[in-house]
A and B are shown apart, each in its own frame.
Chain A
Amino acid sequence: MRGEAGHRRSALWLAALVHRLSGLALACFLPVHFLALGLAIDGDAHLDAFLRWSARPLVKVAETLLVFLLAVHLLGGLRVLAVENLAWREGQRRLALMAGGGAVLAAALFLLVAFR
């Protein structure tokens, strides 16, 4: 079993899993996001009430996670498109790590902006 699961320690396997899980999470979040924006149909006041609710610290932390998911899915997806459409390059593991690092930076930047 240990040998069969060895690939799970690979950074590229982890990158594929993160890409898949972040995509699933975004697919689950999007309907909620659309329903929240749809509050504007009933007037500015409804959307304003939601925006006030979203100013709570816990919601900002949750939004930071969403920014991370969006960024990591974007950067991981760009890596997949590059692998599939461009000439093969060495250093795929480094690219995957850069995608993860970039997403962490994007989330950290959002956290700074949100709590400024």
Chain B
Amino acid sequence: MNVRLYLLQRATAAIMAPLVLAHLVLIYYATSRGLSAADILGRTRGSLVWGAFYALFVLCAAVHGAIGVRAVVGEWTPLRGRALDVAMWAVGLLLAVLGLRAVAAVVL
């Protein structure tokens, strides 16, 4: 892992720490209340705050996850060099596209 990837991995981890904590609290809240789709979407639709919160979360998770997968694949499989970069970009793009689509689905 080069220095840029290392710093990106750590920076996204630091940004996500409070986001994950907030997400866990939301999971407990939604589960304890047994919220329906209407309840959830009623709170999220049209909300700039939830949109920004989860868009940031998704983008950080995509970058963090892609770099993490690259490191693991590089150590545990014979893949090296360009193949590792392709795997990293594939994972990152998949997570970013599906994640932002999910954010759009619950916010717009």
Interface: A94 (CB within 8 A)? no
Contact among B27, B35, B69 for A67, CB-based, below 8 A? B27
Instruction: Tally chain B residues at the interface, Cβ within 8 Å.
Output: 35
A113, B106: Cβ atoms closer than 8 Å: no
Chain B residues within 8 Å of A84, by CB: 10
Interface: A91 (CB within 8 A)? no
Given contact pairs A30-B61, A31-B98, A113 touches B28 in the complex (Cβ within 8 A): yes
Given contact pairs A30-B65, A48-B38, A74 touches B20 in the complex (Cβ within 8 A): yes
Tell me if B's interface is mostly helix, strand, loop or mixed.
helix
Minimum CB–CB distance from A47 to chain B (whole Å) comes to: 4
Interface: B72 (CB within 8 A)? yes
Chain A residues within 8 Å of B104, by CB: 41
Question: Which residues of A in the span 62-96 have a Cβ within 8 Å of any Cβ on B?
Answer: 63, 67, 70-71, 74, 77-78, 80-81, 84
Interface: A24 (CB within 8 A)? yes
Minimum CB–CB distance from B19 to chain A (whole Å) comes to: 10
Interface: B99 (CB within 8 A)? yes
Interface: B56 (CB within 8 A)? no
Interface: A26 (CB within 8 A)? yes
Chain A residues within 8 Å of B28, by CB: 109-110, 113
